[in-house]
Amino acid sequence: MRKILYFGLIAACSLTANAFAQDFCQTATHSGESVEYSTNKVGSFDNGIGYELWNEGGNGGSATFYDDGSFNCKMTGAKDYLCRAGLSFNSDKTHEEIGHMKADFKLVKGNLSGIDYSYIGIYGWTREPLVEWYIVDNTGSQYMPGDWVAQGSSAKNHGVFEIDGAQYTVYEGDRTSYSIDGDNKYFKQYFSVRKSKRDCGTIDITAHFKKWEELGMKMGKMHEAKILGEAGSTSGANAKGEYDFPYAKVYIEGAEPSSSSAEPESSSSTEAIKGIRSMTVGTNTSYVFDAQGKYLGSFEAADAESLNAAIKAKYNSGVYMVKQGGAVRSISVK
């Protein structure tokens, strides 16, 4: 629940309507270039995928990040440990202005011990107001987080709600602690905690935002939305084990195209996505952009495999954003 500043658009692997329904829960291995760290680190790959490792005290674990968006978290004796990957906005835009956010993940846990609290799911911050928020779909401890997550003068259990087809308990609270704007800052905290754990699935991030706002939990200008693996020990540096994410992506769901046909010119990832979505395109044509949103060209491809081959032949391996019909996706070309 600490410090972050990076950006990235996590890679998907398929295109076409049927290919988008890829069963990523069967993904077993990482792929691509990787980096490994055992001290606090914030960074990104050349393709724009960002990553972070953070330990309170700067020790107690390591993390390996891959340029396909996947990552692996190892705790060797941590007090408060986290690793994460996803989208950073650090913007003046609300979630409504950015677009509908979702995340796909697969989690494999290994040899966990000494963990008193843990959050596995989606994490982020907003400004104006300053809010730290969590969507918790799993945990490394025995039980899912409970009423204790609601702290401070505004602590409240709002109740259980069906959000995106599952039961979540929504909590609100506040703290004065570490924040994206420095230490000893006052901020609000929001939690959606799933009633049952799951190791794989799609999280509709925006659906949680909307429910929170219905309950009077105000969201501000988006700073980030990231897949998170966090674990801590209240009795010292005792948290040990592994969170492996062989598949992980956070993305902006494609919207129906408008009448505009202008190509995006901004190098900002947020503005690039907005510009790409505004293009009017044919349903059989794939428009290709680099990871920062620069328009490269278009292809007529019958399926994801032939599109990937065409992109690789012309532009080499890497991560690209592709608009097809009304949808924008990021793909990894090997």
Q: CA 14 to CA 305: how far, in whole Å?
A: 8
Angle, vertex CA 223, rays to CA 221 and CA 225, nearest 5 = 115
CB atoms < 10 A from the CB of 3, how many? 14
* Per annotation, catalytic residue among 230, 265, 271, 305: 230
CA-based torsion, 97, 100, 104, 107: positive or negative: positive
Can you list the pairs that 38-42 forms with residues at least 24 positions away whose Cβ atoms lie under 8 Å?
Answer: 38/62, 42/3, 42/4, 42/5, 42/6
Contact 69, 249 (CB under 8 A): yes
> Is 132 assigned a catalytic role?
yes
* Per annotation, catalytic residue among 52, 132, 172, 224: 132
Q: CA 164 to CA 68: how far, in whole Å?
A: 26
Residue 222: closest CA among 250, 185, 243: 250
The H or E element that residue 271 is part of is helix 269-277
Beta pairing, strands 50-55 & 41-44: antiparallel
User: In the chain, which ranges are E strands?
Assistant: 34-37, 41-44, 50-55, 61-66, 71-78, 80-88, 101-113, 117-127, 131-138, 156-163, 166-179, 182-194, 200-204, 221-222, 224-232, 239-252, 285-290, 295-300, 318-324, 327-333
Q: Residue 287: which residues within 8 A CB-CB, separation 6 or more?
A: 276, 279, 281, 295, 297, 298, 322, 323, 324
- Report residue 294 as tokens: 């620069």
Q: Residue 183: which residues within 8 A CB-CB, separation 6 or more?
A: 177
Q: What positions carry a catalytic annotation?
A: 132, 230
